[in-house]
Structure 1
């Protein structure tokens, strides 16, 4: 293999490693968003659950309850998203190893 192709492979490996890093950062960001939504959900549930009895069944209670349901749905969707990314099961090391072997 000549130096030009070796250099091209090295650049490709570098680009691929950059993609890997971006995917890892994306997963981390989605997990962070999920954590934030869970915190908001917990606060809303506390608010709803600590309403005086005379407000339970009121429009205000129903809105808080609906918000809790929507927040729970958002958490479930974020969980699904994180799982889907993880299910892709990228084998980055296999790709980079093959490219490095090609350079030898």
Structure 2
């Protein structure tokens, strides 16, 4: 890979890293809101949806981390 494409990928990795941090911040906010709900509401449809959202954000965070790692391997090759 030439230096120009490598630099472009490094910029992409930087933006993805920022997005990863934003996803984590949203997940933390959603988790805090869920944790502050009365227990009875946590088992309601809304609470279950919030729990599903938290799980999806967790998976998205991990998936994005894997993408970043794969791109980093290309840059370092």
Unaligned runs of 5+ in 2: none
Q: TM-score, normalising length from structure 1?
A: 0.55
Confirm whether residue 91 of structure 1 aligns to residue 63 of structure 2. Answer: yes
In the alignment, which residue of structure 2 is the partner of 1:35?
Answer: 35
In the alignment, which residue of structure 2 is the partner of 1:26?
Answer: 26
In the alignment, which residue of structure 1 is the partner of 2:10?
Answer: 10
CA-based RMSD: 2.4
Whole-angstrom distance in 2 between the partners of 1:80 and 1:93: 20
Deviation at 1:89, TM superposition (A): 7.1
Unaligned runs of 5+ in 1: 42-67
Whole-angstrom distance in 2 between the partners of 1:94 and 1:86: 13
Aligned residue pairs, count: 74
